[in-house]
Every structure is written in C-alpha cells, then in structure tokens.
Structure 1
Amino acid sequence: MADIWIAEDESALAEGLRRAFEKDGHRVITFGTLKSLLYSARSFSQVPQVIILDHKLPDGLGGDAIPQILSVIPHGRIILMTAYGESPLIVKAIRNGAFDYIDKPFSLEALRKMVQRALLRYSVEVAARDAAMGNAQLIGSSAPMMRLRDTVDRLKGQRDLNILLTGESGTGKEVVSRMIHEVTSCEGSFVAINCGAIPENLLEAELFGYKRGAYTGAADDKKGLLELGHGGTVMLDEIGDLPLSLQSKLLRFLDSRRFRRLGDTAEREVSLNLICATHKDLKEMSTQGLFREDLLYRISTIPIKVPPLRERGSDVIELAEFFLKTFSIKRGRPPKELSPEVEDLFLNYHWPGNVRELKNLIERLVILSDPGSHVISLKDLPEEMLTLPLDGEGTVTPNSLDAKLANKELELITEALERCGDNKTQAAKELGISRFSLLRRLQRHGLS
C-alpha cells in the first residue's frame, strides 16, 4: 500500500483516478489547487510516495511548482499530467525534478504502470538510504518476500529465540538475520561466525571462550562469541558444518543458555537470540548420523526459509535497481538503468548464485559498462548468461574464419527474420537459440 496524492481540478477525472488507485489498494487524496496540496504537505505527518500533478491548475502551473513541492516532499515522485506536450515544457519539468510525464488523454493502464515504476524507484531510494545508515533491508514486493517480512515482524519484542534459516547460498540469510536482530530491539551486538570457515580445534574456543592456561598459547582469558553476543544476536552460519563433538555442547547451551569457557569450572549465563543458517538438508544429514536430530529440533523452534531469487519474480528488477543506485554512488559513476531486453533476461534467468550473483554482476556492470551510455544493454552482460558462446573480441581480416562465420551468421539471422516477419521470438526458435542470444547478436551486428 502506498500514499498517492492527485492534484487535478477536473473533478470527474480526479474522482475516477482516486477510485482506480484505491481499488489497487493505495491510500489516495485529491486536491483541486496547488495551494491545498502544499498546505497539506506542510501539515500532514504522512506524505505521499507519488504525486500525480496536473500542469494547468486554477492557481498556477504544476510544472513550475515542482521545485516548491519537492522542497516539502523531497523524496516524492511527481508524475506530470499535461495536455500541452510541448518539448520545452517537458524538458523543464524533468529538470525541475519530475519523475515522468503523461499526455492527456491517457489510458488508466499506462498511468498505473508509470505509478508502479515510480513506487519502485521510491522503494529503491529508501532502501539505499537505509543501507547507507547500516540498516538491514529485505528488498522485494513478491508474495514470498511479503510472507518473509510478515514472519520477521511477528518477532518484534521477543528474546532468547532459536531460529533456523534455510535457503540456497546467496539468498540473503545474513540480511534476514540482521533484520531479526533489529526488530527484536536487542541491546547487545550482532555477532556472526561461519562454522565451516574455522578449524575444528579452534571453533570451540571461538564459540565458548577460554580460561588462561586452558591450552598452550592461551596466555589470557578470552570471551567467546556467545559471551560477546549477550543481550544481542549470535548467528551460526553453515551450522551443518558444525562438528559432532561441538553439537552436543551447543545442545546443552540451548537448553539453559549456560556454558563454561574452556578450562574453566564456573558457569556463565547469557541472554541472546541464536540464529542458525544453512543451505544443507539437515533432516537428511540427521538420518545419516551427520547431524544430531535433537539439536535440529532445538535450533528450529522458529524455522524460516529464504526463497531463491528465481522464485521471487519481479523482485530481481527491484534488487537490480537498488544495486545500480548503491554501486553508482559507491563507485562515483552516473546512474544507469536496465534496458527492457536486460530486464526480460533477468526475469527469465535461473540465478544459480541468487542475490549474491546479481549483486556482484551489477557492481561489475557499473564499473565496466560503457560510461557514455546511461543504459545497461545485452552487450554489457557476460556471455554465459545468454547460454550461447559469442565470438571473441579483436580485429579480424575480411577473409579470416571469424569474419566469414560472422557474415554467415548475419545471413542466417536476416533470412530467419524475413521468414518470420521480423518476429524475433519466432526467429530465435527457428534458429535454435534463445531470444536473448538473438538480441545480443543483433546488437553486435549493429541491427538493434
């Protein structure tokens, strides 16, 4: 649900838009003048994410008032409605800070799509600001992510939780852990350890700490991660790699929140949320004797599954927009956007590395893509994403094998497009390649 304000003096149009967007689940307020809109912007605590603004209003021109509106609603997205679609007017509105414009008369569906894009950009900007302030963010509006956020929200105010996060590598389990830490309002720190990254003989000391003289080299007392996490959250990542010898000791800790440092006789008690995470099938491991069944039940008091990126639909575009903005700021590069073809590919790609793969790809694209273009296109993507090898780069002579193959490829593509009436999807099917491969090849030949 979003807050949408509509400034339109034609009451029939304003009322029709109000009903349509309320039907979509949004909160909508309409205004007949600029004065009433600005007064409400200064008075209301809840400001809108999107303002649909008519250019010609009884008390002024909407396009000219955009800077004034943004001065009181700095993060709002303004869509200018105009029956005067002259280029200078539009250019001025965009320079003043308008998100987009739409010419009257327009279809409701066209405006709906524009509002959806505006809300997406708004959410990306909010997420980027939160990330800059160190706040964890679960980005995405898909049904799986809405359910995940709802589950996390239900944990508000709870303490001493035992939570098991499952999901493929790269899905964002640590982000979910940090969000849980934030919503439970823990006063202590967030402490994370990868159980598979530390040798078994050191892992026990890292978790539980040790007393001076407990073993050779233990020159001083040392707090373990469980003790450092008192009042906060401890995340045990890759819990499936925890050695069996330590599983029993962790089980005893979970029963009482008490433990002993290595070499110590005194028991210590802590209060903390324990979040275990894994991409492995712990149930199957328990049947094979590799993971204690009683420990599995104990750590999974609250089981949460983090969905893979391929099951999150259009979240991939929202995440890509967020990473584009984040890395453009980080790398000092001008902002870029995805071409429609790249968006289409992203929506159909399998994403075996999940969100981590997307994040790394976007950072690479921000650094390496054509600095003279504001658009990420198919030619910027790595070859393996198109499921078809591409020709190597470099200069070739007209009679070289590479040149002859390229000419033959162009001939076959052109013939297929002619037979299919320029239908690229059908032509790609006839050529036995993906639509994305065809589009990439057309770009390379300068045909799109």
Structure 2
Amino acid sequence: MYKLWIIEDEPGLAQGLKIAFEKEGNYSVSLASSLGDLKELLSKETPDIALLDIRLPDGNGLDALPHILKTSPQVKVIVMTAFGDSALVVKAIKEGAYNYLDKPFPLEAARNMVARAAENIALQRAVSQMTADSSVDLTGSSPPIQQIRGFVEKVSKVSDLNILIRGESGSGKEVLARLIHRTSGCKGNFVALNCAAIPENLLEAELFGYKKGAYTGAVQDKMGLVELADGGTLFLDEIGDMPLALQGKLLRFLDSRSYRPLGGTKEIKVSLRVISATCQNIEDKIAKGEFRRDLYYRIAMFPIIIPPLRERGKDVIEIFYTFVEQYRKSFKRSPLSLTPEAEEVFLDYSWPGNCRELKNLVERLFILKDPEDRLVRLSDLPDRMLEELPQKDNKIATQAPGQTLQEKIESFERHLIEEALNKAKNNKTKAAELLGISRFALLRRMQKYGIE
C-alpha cells in the first residue's frame, strides 16, 4: 500500500483522482487543497507519491517541493500544471520532482505515471533491503575511500561502539553505515531514523517506544527503534537536528545502553552499535547552544568523514556505471555508456548533490533517452552541468565577457567550429587548438549548436 497525496485546489479533479486511485486498492489517498493543508499533512507523516499542482490558492506549489523532499528524498513528486510553462517544469525537475503532467490530462496518463513511480519505490525498497542484508558496498577506488574501507574492517569487529559519519548531503553516509553493519556480521537489524523527518513531539516515542496509556492516543504498547535494533545497528541520520530536550536522554542511553519507554517503570538493557550522521557543522551548533558538547564527544567516539564526490576523482565514473547496472535491470534495458566528452564533464562537474544527484541523473537518462540509444552525449546532460565547465582557459570569454552573439555571428561561429572539426578529423582537442579556445569552451559551443 502506497501513501498517495493529491495537492490540488480543484475539488472535482481532486475527488475524481482520489476515487480512481482508491479503487485500484494499492493506494491510501490524502487530499490537500492549499499549501497550508500540505504543511499540516507533512507535520504528521510523509507520502510515498505526491501529485502536486503548481498553482495553489495560497502560493506556488513548487515552493513546497523542497519541504516534501526534505522529509524523505525518496518521495516521488509529480507536478501538475495547466499553464504549459516549460520553464516551471524544468525548474521542478531540477529541484527533484519525479515527473510532470500537463493539464488537462487523461486519467490513464495519471495512472500510468503513478504506477511507474510506485514501481520505482518498490525497486528502491527492494534494493535497500538487499543492500542492508548482503550486498552493501562503498563504490570507488580513490585513496580516501580505500582508507575508509580499512577503517570499516577495524570498527565493525567491535559492538556497542558510537560512530559519527560526516559528509555533505547525498555523499553516501547511510551506505557507509549499512556497510559497517553488514561487515560486522551481527544478527540484529539495521534500523534507521531520520531525526529531521519526525516531529519533535513524536521523536522520543519513535526512538524509545511507549507503554499503553503513556499519553492520549497510546492505546497499546509500542516497541521503540532502539529495542528493534538490539543486537544490531541504530542509524541516527541528521543527528544535528535532534531537539535539545531529547539530546540529554540520548546521552544517558549512550552511556548506559539502557532506557525506559515513555510511561514505563523498568529499565531495558540493550546491546547495539549506534551510528550517527550529519551534513551540518556540529561545532557551530555547539557554539550557538543548539547541540550538547558532551553528546558530541560521545557520538564521535570514532569519527569518519566521507569526501564529497567532486574530490573523489574517477570514482564518479565507477559510481555512474554502478547505478547504470542497477537501473538497466529495473528498466529491462541495455546498459548506457558515456562518450569521452560526457565523461570529461562528469569529472569536472562539482556534483553539489553528490551521489544522490548522480543516481537521479542516471534514472532520468533511462526514462528520457531513446531505448535504442546507448550513448550518453553532451546533449543528454542537464544545462547546469555544461554551464559549470571550467573557464580558466576560455580565451574568448575573457576577451568579450557578457557579449551577446547575433544570429549572423552565431551562424559564422558554427561554420568555424565545423570547419575546425573537419580539419582535425573530429579530434576535439586539436580542433580547440585550431580555434584558439580551450577544449571545454569548444564542448560548450558544440552543445549550444547541437554539433555531435
């Protein structure tokens, strides 16, 4: 059963979609007609799939997209627009939307797109379970990653450790946590909790559980994640967002490995490894009084720093083909390969979203590319990747910054590029030398004029 949210202010359309999807039996549907209604829903739970109208009575639906994805990056958000604004659609996709629907759309189109999103979620859950059980790995052969693997071999042999993983968002902190768990060979579960995704008033109950009658609505005992992870690993993601009130209780638990559920009278003793992760500057939060210094020293008994993807050299190519292998199986397609030009862009791009951004790119390539076309070319890559190419050697850019080329000049420039490529027998490096510009400047112009 998938949780499907429909954020749409047109009652007829919203109710029609709700009835259609509930009739299928695979979806639990919730409705919201405004950003305010959406905010209220997000304070209680997270959807699996969301149909999000861009135009809502109290604001732009795209403004809510980052908030939805913050609760869980795995949410599949499908934006809906009746305005045919391609710029808005591109913006939505760049910011993490799964896909889009142009209004008016047939019900079958919505069904197919939501079904495809559900299949993708099912795949992610299956892969997540598979990697948690037996096949987690940290892809890459760069020196920092090799050092991390050596560290994992040492710390995984000891239980009841506290480990802190630091790294930028999307850099693979949970992948590393799962690798430590698997390498340890322990029989217990790997249990993950995103401290930023659970409302503050529910976080303690989620972590330590509660007894029947502990508070209004507690109609039966609930096992906490700590108990569920006994004998295994508890992964506390975004530990920097844990409320101060709960930090003291976590510190006590880490000291004693015992806790008392809400409403309980007996201490429960457990044995487990606690791995915390953050992309924030904890030292700054300590200085501002937002994070306890003593808790920091406790969780950082063994600190690990995962370098961002842009600092890992050719790891990005290895990771690309790892994701290709994953998605080609789910899409039942032939594998994709990078052209030399595209590979150069991959190596020089800054990857602000790290491995998560790369994974999303691979998935989109499989969705958007012709199934018969196995090569990833410059024209297949997002504009942001090409716009960020290094310009330190771009002589033309430095000679005429901000110059706008008119149609005749563009035509002449295209002619010069094609002529240079012919003379160089399509060798990009030699052609760039003939034109007196850098290779990257040439690649940008080839992309601009659609020259393969």
Instruction: Name the TM tier (shorter chain).
Output: 0.5 to 0.7
Residues 259-408 of structure 1 aligned to structure 2 (within 5 Å): 259-387=259-387, 408=409
Matched residues in 2 for 1:270 and 1:224: separation? Answer: 12
Shift of 1:412: 1.6
Residues 48-87 of structure 1 aligned to structure 2 (within 5 Å): none
**Alignment equivalent of 1:436, drawn from 435, 443, 446:** 443
Cα distance change on mapping 1:132 and 1:301 into 2, 3 Å: closer
Cα distance change on mapping 1:226 and 1:149 into 2, 3 Å: same
Equivalent residue for 1:192? 192
Shift of 1:358: 0.4
TM-align CA RMSD: 2.7
CA contact under 8 A between 2:420 and 2:435: conserved in structure 1?
Answer: no
Equivalent residue for 1:167? 167
Q: What letter corresponds to residue 353 of structure 1 in structure 2?
A: G
Matched residues in 2 for 1:318 and 1:173: separation? Answer: 18
Q: Deviations over 1:400-436 (max 9, x none)?
A: xxxx966642312433676897544457874997343
Q: Deviations over 1:252-292 (max 9, x none)?
A: 00110011001111101100000000000111111111100
Equivalent residue for 1:255? 255
**Match of 1:434, SS?**
helix
Matched residues in 1 for 2:436 and 2:169: separation? Answer: 33
Equivalent residue for 1:140? 140
The answer to which of 130-139 and 238-247 deviates more is 130-139
**Match of 2:163, SS?**
strand
Q: What letter corresponds to residue 173 of structure 2 in structure 1?
A: K
Q: What letter corresponds to residue 409 of structure 1 in structure 2?
A: E
Matched residues in 1 for 2:245 and 2:412: separation? Answer: 66
Q: Which runs of 5+ in 1 are unaligned?
A: 1-126, 390-403
Equivalent residue for 1:63? none
Cα distance change on mapping 1:379 and 1:200 into 2, 3 Å: same
CA contact under 8 A between 1:328 and 1:335: conserved in structure 2?
Answer: yes
CA contact under 8 A between 1:428 and 1:434: conserved in structure 2?
Answer: no
Shift of 1:320: 0.8
Kindly tell me the number of residue pairs found equivalent between the two proteins: 304
Q: Deviations over 1:135-174 (max 9, x none)?
A: 1111101111111111111123210010000000000100
Matched residues in 2 for 1:200 and 1:171: separation? Answer: 26
Cα distance change on mapping 1:346 and 1:427 into 2, 3 Å: farther
Equivalent residue for 1:82? none
**Match of 1:236, SS?**
strand
CA contact under 8 A between 1:386 and 1:434: conserved in structure 2?
Answer: no
CA contact under 8 A between 1:345 and 1:436: conserved in structure 2?
Answer: no
Q: What letter corresponds to residue 259 of structure 1 in structure 2?
A: Y
**Match of 2:218, SS?**
coil
Cα distance change on mapping 1:196 and 1:427 into 2, 3 Å: farther
Matched residues in 2 for 1:245 and 1:301: separation? Answer: 22
Q: Deviations over 1:292-320 (max 9, x none)?
A: 00000000000001111001100111111
Matched residues in 1 for 2:388 and 2:140: separation? Answer: 30
Matched residues in 2 for 1:406 and 1:364: separation? Answer: 33
Cα distance change on mapping 1:310 and 1:429 into 2, 3 Å: farther
Shift of 1:370: 2.6
Matched residues in 2 for 1:428 and 1:273: separation? Answer: 59
Equivalent residue for 1:73? none
Matched residues in 2 for 1:171 and 1:161: separation? Answer: 22
Cα distance change on mapping 1:221 and 1:205 into 2, 3 Å: same
Q: What letter corresponds to residue 302 of structure 1 in structure 2?
A: F
Matched residues in 2 for 1:388 and 1:196: separation? Answer: 31
Equivalent residue for 2:25? none
Q: What letter corresponds to residue 436 of structure 1 in structure 2?
A: L
Equivalent residue for 2:6? none
**Match of 2:165, SS?**
strand
Equivalent residue for 1:226? 226
Q: What letter corresponds to residue 441 of structure 2 in structure 1?
A: S
CA contact under 8 A between 1:167 and 1:278: conserved in structure 2?
Answer: yes
CA contact under 8 A between 2:194 and 2:236: conserved in structure 1?
Answer: yes
Matched residues in 2 for 1:353 and 1:186: separation? Answer: 32
CA contact under 8 A between 2:134 and 2:182: conserved in structure 1?
Answer: no
Shift of 1:185: 1.4
